[in-house]
Structure 1
Amino acid sequence: MASAPPSDPYARHVLARMSDFFTDEGTPWARRLWDIGSVLALEELFEAGYWQAHGVLSQTACDWQRIQLNALVGPDRGLGDRDLRKELTGLLKNALPDPSPARRRLKEIIGHVRVGYLERWAVAVNVPVEERTKPERYSRTVASHLLDLGYSASFLKAWAKDLYDARATTADIADSAAALARTPARGYEVLVALEKVPRRDLAEPLEHWYDKGKVIAWLREHGHDTAGVRPGGGFVYRFNALDAFSAAEQARQMLERMTARSQFLRKDRGGVAPLPYIWVAGHAEAIPLEPPARGADVLTLVNEGHLYQVAGTRSRIDDALELAAAVNRGPMAPAVAGAWAAIESLLTHPDDPKGDGERSGKAVAADRMAAVIACSWPRAELTALAHRHKPRTQDDLGRSIAACTTNQERARVVADALRAGGASALDFTRAPTKYSDRPAAQRMADLVQDPRPVLGDVAGAFRIALRRLYRTRNIILHGGATQGVALEASLRTAAPLVGAGLDRIVHAAYAEDLDPLDLAARAEVALQLVNGETGLSVVDLLEPV
């Protein structure tokens, strides 16, 4: 029997982070994927030119998007080293109006970038460890690119686990990811079964319609259990997709359109009622109709007992939570619109700058929310690390953490330990998430040693994600389009951040009666003062002076 290959620490780090990124529910917001891939970002920029020409997006918004993207593509090894990179960066230095020769060239460049993108990354990491891109960047790059291509998080999580169990090397990961990127979509047959079918006479003539007998026969033919399945009929569609879960998502969106139409019936209004599962031919298990939540968690509502406190005068916080409620499981267009409406309602004011400046108009709400979230990130990660410090035998750090009575104290103890001893000060030997905790400890060690640049980078990533949400909202509401190229990715990246920001806003409102705009001002000042002459610690960025 052949022995297992030796462990590759770089590969373990990459796969642990990918597992975080591909876990729809359960990964805390601070460890999720906040960005999209370079290829999709370029496609989004190309699409933005169309909406600018139609008056949906402003010149300022498109220029900001282009300038930020030009800065981000610099370290991306998938964009080539010479000719391709030179052509791309040259185009991104100037405006790309629609129509224009530069925009037509950008379209051609995107095609060249897409082909071989992960193969170029495979070459870039097939070098000695000390010359490789940091594993955090590589894991984010591969994960975002595969998600952007249309793979489901569920499929990719199983893929990463298989590589992990096989003790894959970095080269194995790179080759496998590149192979996934080359794999074309294939046809999937998907059954959507309905419990109630109002106006059945309109369904029966359609080619995709199956009566209840044919639905049961289809399930049996494809090896699915029919116990307890009581359909009134259903539809069998064929979708091109990269995996079964992605095919089910297409069916889910088809159902959303169908149920939306049923809301306009005079009789049996809203009467289209699907069964709670979707079935995909060739996939052994039924897939729940209800999708995983998008990760927008407002934990303060439970942790501080506010969940049922709705009596009395309705507040702006109440309105914002109601507006954003669709962000977790609602259809994508209402989820985007509601999430942004909540942010804008809390973080804009009539005295905000007007005109065409970078922070003018409603976009300033994204920047304010990004500052609040960036200031909450250190406490969130340091608290998590305090709970994950689990050496084989209790040590002094563990005893110090156990003696703390608040998360603020625990976070401060961990920050002090990281400052004194680096990431190795923490021991995750008995923690089930140790391969994810170790990279987090290194990120926090880097933070406490030099907070401003680290927080600046994090706040920048949040600004980009939230401004993307704003642009997507404008395309939906002002352009009337619900199929934007970055719609799904915008929700995937922004939803957990929206939850994190609302959580801090709710906490400040209940604990201090602090207005959201005042909290944002506190956050913006904290990012400038941290670790300076005032002695402001990364643990206390959102605390009152």
Structure 2
Amino acid sequence: MHETAALEDATLRHLLEFAADLAAGGDSDFEVLVPFVSVPDYQTLAEGLPEWMPAPATAAWFEAQGVTKPPRHNGAFLFKIRSKDAVAAARAAGALVLRLQARSSFARARRGRLQPVGHVWVGTYPEPLPVQPPARGADVLSLKRERTMYSVMGSDRLDDALELAAPLNEGPPAPAVSGAWAAIESLLYHPGDKADPDSERNRAVAADRMAALVACSWPRAELTALSYRHQPEAEDDLRRELKRARTNAERCQVLATALADGATVALSSPSDVAACQRMAQVLTNPHKELGDVRAVFEGVLRRLYRQRNIVAHGGTTAAVALDSALRTAAPLVGAGLDRLVHAKLTLEIEPLDLVARAENSLALVGDPLGPSVTGLLG
């Protein structure tokens, strides 16, 4: 094993070394206890299962594991899971819980609902772990910013797309992938698009269009966040200029100009320092850097499309890359939907029109007569 670095001194190299060690190691067997507040009809439906543990047996398991403050429960499922580590075992158990909830939704007489406690306990692992991982990061902040979160009477295609993509953050992987791609295709594929002889280009053109849109929105999102994190010990010229800016667009332009001039941005977080370095590279050679970013985003969103095909046409939810494709694509889908919603609410621009603007900006950025990095979408 590589020598473990202290958390505050950890670098990307240490992270990659740890990941390589974890991948090279073998799988282990874990006992994962998933306690439930409510299990309807457990006497007839659960007691015959080897993994079911009634409340007294669950309490005894907690005591044997040294859990001093067990949750209130009415029994539990004890799953035997083989995985790399305790966290991966907890995530696998969370997937089983989603499957249990999906099955229970088909009951004709719904006497209550299947309700997990919210955490799982993995063998002798010292802390309980969430039964479900955090939301996948598909955020559409424009709904709150433009105060339209609860405005549903005037629904249009964008509202339909948001409804389709709703499982993306917290739903089971298969509906999340299917819904996310349905949302993208409903907005960014036109019936008049010519079929490409290469099947990969067929409806996957919607993925490429979403990638262009997100690539254009990325610099401004990064610069906006960095503009609020510049915290020098003594107030400097950049800090004063940022204070005078009245909008986020002005803050972005102030910071972009400062970075282009070689100014130092006072940042404390390593992730912010890395973001600042990325933005400096983008400002130096925007056409190349944004082209590279767009290509990466295209790959991520095309993987989402392929996983959707496996789910929808192959009828399987066991694809090896399903979870990883969803984790990487969800924030991009959220960012793209956010830009589409914002453009519709503030400028009345339709999705395909905004994508045309994004593709044109990516082609011209870096040219003296082209758009600025902070104004790629207008």
- Amino acid corresponding to residue 426 of structure 1 in structure 2: T
Q: Do the aligned residues in 1 keep the contact of 2:136 with 2:168 (CA within 8 Å)?
A: yes
What count of residue pairs does the alignment treat as equivalent? Answer: 377
Aligned-residue offset at 1:272: 2.4
- Verify: 1:347 aligned to 2:207, yes or no: no
Q: Do the aligned residues in 2 keep the contact of 1:293 with 1:329 (CA within 8 Å)?
A: yes
- Verify: 1:426 aligned to 2:264, yes or no: yes
- Once the two structures are superposed, residues 386-405 of structure 1 have per-residue CA deviations (whole angstroms, 9 ceiling, x without a partner) of 11111111111111111101
Q: Residue in 1 aligned with 2:329?
A: 494
Q: Residue in 2 aligned with 1:24?
A: none
Matches within 5 A, 1:124-203: 163-165=5-7, 167=9, 176-199=18-41, 200-203=43-46
Q: Residue in 1 aligned with 2:258?
A: 417
- 2: CA distance between counterparts of 1:181 and 1:447? 33
* Comparing 515-524 and 351-360, the one that deviates more: 351-360
Please give the secondary structure, in 2, of the residue aligned with 1:279: strand
- Once the two structures are superposed, residues 358-412 of structure 1 have per-residue CA deviations (whole angstroms, 9 ceiling, x without a partner) of 7743111101100000000110111112111111111111111111011111111
- Verify: 1:272 aligned to 2:110, yes or no: no
Please give the secondary structure, in 1, of the residue aligned with 2:224: helix
Q: Residue in 1 aligned with 2:133?
A: 291
- Once the two structures are superposed, residues 322-349 of structure 1 have per-residue CA deviations (whole angstroms, 9 ceiling, x without a partner) of 1111111110000001111110111111
After superposition, the Cα gap between the structure-2 partners of 1:503 and 1:418, relative to the gap in structure 1 and judged at 3 Å, is same
Q: Do the aligned residues in 1 keep the contact of 2:93 with 2:131 (CA within 8 Å)?
A: no
- 1: CA distance between counterparts of 2:168 and 2:13? 37
- Verify: 1:361 aligned to 2:202, yes or no: yes
Aligned-residue offset at 1:270: 7.3
Q: Residue in 2 aligned with 1:144?
A: none
Q: Residue in 2 aligned with 1:517?
A: 352
TM-score of the aligned structures, taking structure 2 as reference length: 0.94
- 2: CA distance between counterparts of 1:249 and 1:174? 21
- Verify: 1:398 aligned to 2:239, yes or no: yes
After superposition, the Cα gap between the structure-2 partners of 1:174 and 1:344, relative to the gap in structure 1 and judged at 3 Å, is closer
Aligned-residue offset at 1:165: 3.3
Aligned-residue offset at 1:540: 0.5
Q: Residue in 1 aligned with 2:56?
A: 213
* Comparing 168-177 and 527-536, the one that deviates more: 168-177
**Corresponding residue to 1:248 among 90, 105, 117:** 90
Matches within 5 A, 1:78-93: none
- 1: CA distance between counterparts of 2:168 and 2:10? 36
After superposition, the Cα gap between the structure-2 partners of 1:215 and 1:376, relative to the gap in structure 1 and judged at 3 Å, is same
- 2: CA distance between counterparts of 1:251 and 1:169? 31
Matches within 5 A, 1:362-401: 362-401=203-242
Aligned-residue offset at 1:179: 2.8
Q: Do the aligned residues in 2 keep the contact of 1:353 with 1:360 (CA within 8 Å)?
A: no
Q: Do the aligned residues in 1 keep the contact of 2:217 with 2:339 (CA within 8 Å)?
A: yes
Q: Do the aligned residues in 2 keep the contact of 1:264 with 1:270 (CA within 8 Å)?
A: no
After superposition, the Cα gap between the structure-2 partners of 1:408 and 1:359, relative to the gap in structure 1 and judged at 3 Å, is farther
Please give the secondary structure, in 2, of the residue aligned with 1:232: coil
**Corresponding residue to 1:222 among 61, 65, 70:** 65
- Amino acid corresponding to residue 165 of structure 1 in structure 2: L
**Corresponding residue to 2:302 among 446, 452, 467:** 467
* Comparing 238-247 and 339-348, the one that deviates more: 238-247
- Once the two structures are superposed, residues 287-318 of structure 1 have per-residue CA deviations (whole angstroms, 9 ceiling, x without a partner) of 222420111111111122221222x2211111
- Once the two structures are superposed, residues 14-69 of structure 1 have per-residue CA deviations (whole angstroms, 9 ceiling, x without a partner) of xxxxxxxxxxxxxxxxxxxxxxxxxxxxxxxxxxxxxxxxxxxxxxxxxxxxxxxx
Please give the secondary structure, in 1, of the residue aligned with 2:32: strand
Q: Do the aligned residues in 2 keep the contact of 1:389 with 1:426 (CA within 8 Å)?
A: no
Aligned-residue offset at 1:468: 0.6
- Amino acid corresponding to residue 331 of structure 2 in structure 1: P
RMSD: 2.2
- Amino acid corresponding to residue 427 of structure 1 in structure 2: V
